[in-house]
A and B are shown apart, each in its own frame.
Chain A
Amino acid sequence: MPRNEPTEGTGEWDGGRSPGRRKAVRYAVPVAVAGVAAATIGLVPAFAGSGSPDLPKISAQDLIAKIAKSDVQQLSGTVRVSTDLGLPSLPGIGGGAGGFGGAPGGGEKSKDGASAEPQSKLMELASGAHTLRVAADGPEKQRVSIVDKTAEYSLIHNGNEVWAYDSGSNTAVHNTAPEGRHGKQHRAPKDLPEDLKNATPQDLAKQALKAAGDTTSVTVDGTARVAGRDAYQLLIKPKQAASTVGSIRIAVDAANGVPLKFTLTPKSGGAAAIDAGFTEVDFAKPAANTFSFTPPKGAKVVDGDKERAKAQREHGKDFTSRKDMKDFKKDMGGLNVLGKGWTSIATIKGAGSGLPSGKDQGPGGDAGKFLDSLGDKVNGSFGSGRVFSTRLVNALITDNGTIYVGAVDKQALIDAADAAK
Chain B
Amino acid sequence: MSQAEAVPRRPRPLWSLGLLRSEIGTTFRRWRTLALLAVLAGVPILVGIAVKIETGGRPGGGGGGEVGPAFISQVTNNGLFLVFTSLAVTLPFFLPMSIGVIAGDSIAGEAHGGTLRYLLVAPAGRTRLLLVKYATTLTFCLVGTLVVALSALATGALLFPLGDVTLLSGTSISFGEGLLRALAIACAVALSLVGVAAVGLFISTLTSSGIAAMATTVGLLITVQILDTIPQLDAIQPYLFPHYWLSFADLLRDPVYWDQLQKNFGLQALYAVVFGSAAWARFTTRDITA
* CB-CB nearest in chain A for B257: A147
Q: Is A9's CB under 8 angstroms from B120's CB?
A: yes
Taking CB atoms and an 8 Å cut-off, the chain A residues in 77-129 that contact chain B are 78, 96-105, 109-113, 115
Q: Is B125's CB under 8 angstroms from A170's CB?
A: no
Task: For B120, list chain A residues within 8 Å (CB).
Answer: 9
Taking CB atoms and an 8 Å cut-off, the chain B residues in 216-270 that contact chain A are 225-226, 228-229, 246, 249-250, 253, 257, 259, 270
User: B166 touches which one: A7, A289, A299 (CB < 8 A)?
Assistant: A299
Taking CB atoms and an 8 Å cut-off, the chain B residues in 148-200 that contact chain A are 163-164, 166-172
Q: Is B67's CB under 8 angstroms from A151's CB?
A: no
Q: Is B284's CB under 8 angstroms from A298's CB?
A: no
Q: Is B166's CB under 8 angstroms from A298's CB?
A: yes
A152 is an interface residue with CB less than 8 A from chain B? yes
B64 is an interface residue with CB less than 8 A from chain A? yes
Q: Is B77's CB under 8 angstroms from A170's CB?
A: yes
CB within 8 Å for A103 and B77 given contacts A19-B285, A133-B257, A167-B170: no
User: Nearest Cβ distance between residue B160 and chain A, in whole angstroms?
Assistant: 11
Q: Is B64's CB under 8 angstroms from A170's CB?
A: yes
A184 is an interface residue with CB less than 8 A from chain B? no
Q: Is B67's CB under 8 angstroms from A104's CB?
A: yes
Q: Is A298's CB under 8 angstroms from B92's CB?
A: no
Contact indicator per residue, chain A 296-315, by CB within 8 Å of chain B (1) or not (0): 11111000000000000000
Interface 9-residue window, one of B20-28, B37-45, B133-141, B272-280 = B272-280
Taking CB atoms and an 8 Å cut-off, the chain A residues in 1-47 that contact chain B are 1, 3, 5-9, 11-12, 19, 22-23, 26-27, 29-30, 33-34, 37
CA separation between A12 and B253, bound complex, in Å?
A: 54
B18 is an interface residue with CB less than 8 A from chain A? no
User: B70 touches which one: A19, A27, A104 (CB < 8 A)?
Assistant: A104
Q: Is A151's CB under 8 angstroms from B70's CB?
A: yes
Q: Is B280's CB under 8 angstroms from A165's CB?
A: no
User: B68 touches which one: A104, A165, A279 (CB < 8 A)?
Assistant: A104
Q: Is A96's CB under 8 angstroms from B73's CB?
A: no
User: Nearest Cβ distance between residue B261 and chain A, in whole angstroms?
Assistant: 12
Q: Is B63's CB under 8 angstroms from A170's CB?
A: yes
Q: Is B163's CB under 8 angstroms from A12's CB?
A: no
CB within 8 Å for A105 and B70 given contacts A3-B123, A8-B127, A100-B93: yes
Task: For A170, list chain B residues within 8 Å (CB).
Answer: 63-64, 73-74, 77, 166
Task: For A8, list chain B residues within 8 Å (CB).
Answer: 125-127, 284
A293 is an interface residue with CB less than 8 A from chain B? yes
Q: Is B280's CB under 8 angstroms from A26's CB?
A: yes
Q: Is B73's CB under 8 angstroms from A150's CB?
A: no
User: Nearest Cβ distance between residue B116 and chain A, in whole angstroms?
Assistant: 11
B36 is an interface residue with CB less than 8 A from chain A? no
Q: Is B274's CB under 8 angstroms from A102's CB?
A: no
Task: For A7, list chain B residues within 8 Å (CB).
Answer: 125
How many residues from B make CB contacts under 8 Å with A? Answer: 64
Task: For A154, list chain B residues within 8 Å (CB).
Answer: 169-170
B91 is an interface residue with CB less than 8 A from chain A? yes
CB within 8 Å for A29 and B70 given contacts A34-B274, A37-B270, A78-B259: no
A172 is an interface residue with CB less than 8 A from chain B? yes
CB within 8 Å for A297 and B163 given contacts A22-B285, A149-B249: yes
A343 is an interface residue with CB less than 8 A from chain B? no
A341 is an interface residue with CB less than 8 A from chain B? no
Q: Is B284's CB under 8 angstroms from A1's CB?
A: no
CA separation between A7 and B246, bound complex, in Å?
A: 43
CB within 8 Å for A150 and B281 given contacts A170-B63, A171-B64, A298-B78: no
A223 is an interface residue with CB less than 8 A from chain B? no
Q: Is A29's CB under 8 angstroms from B126's CB?
A: no
CA separation between A104 and B68, bound complex, in Å?
A: 6
User: Nearest Cβ distance between residue A24 and chain B, in whole angstroms?
Assistant: 9
A265 is an interface residue with CB less than 8 A from chain B? no
* CB-CB nearest in chain B for A289: B171
CA separation between A165 and B172, bound complex, in Å?
A: 13
Taking CB atoms and an 8 Å cut-off, the chain B residues in 1-48 that contact chain A are 6, 9-11
Q: Is B64's CB under 8 angstroms from A115's CB?
A: yes
CB within 8 Å for A33 and B273 given contacts A145-B169, A169-B64, A299-B166: yes
Q: Is A6's CB under 8 angstroms from B226's CB?
A: no
* CB-CB nearest in chain A for B284: A8
Q: Is A150's CB under 8 angstroms from B70's CB?
A: yes
User: Nearest Cβ distance between residue B193 and chain A, in whole angstroms?
Assistant: 15
Using a CB–CB cutoff of 8 Å, the interface residues on chain A facing chain B are 1, 3, 5-9, 11-12, 19, 22-23, 26-27, 29-30, 33-34, 37, 78, 96-105, 109-113, 115, 131, 133, 145, 147, 149-152, 154, 156, 163, 165, 167-172, 279, 289, 293-300
Using a CB–CB cutoff of 8 Å, the interface residues on chain B facing chain A are 6, 9-11, 59-60, 63-71, 73-74, 76-78, 88-89, 91-93, 120-121, 123-128, 163-164, 166-172, 225-226, 228-229, 246, 249-250, 253, 257, 259, 270, 273-275, 277-278, 280-282, 284-285, 287
Ranked 6 nearest A-B pairs via Cβ? A169-B64, A298-B77, A6-B125, A150-B70, A296-B166, A8-B126
7 residue pairs from A and B, CB less than 8 Å apart: A30-B274, A33-B277, A98-B229, A99-B226, A101-B92, A102-B246, A145-B253
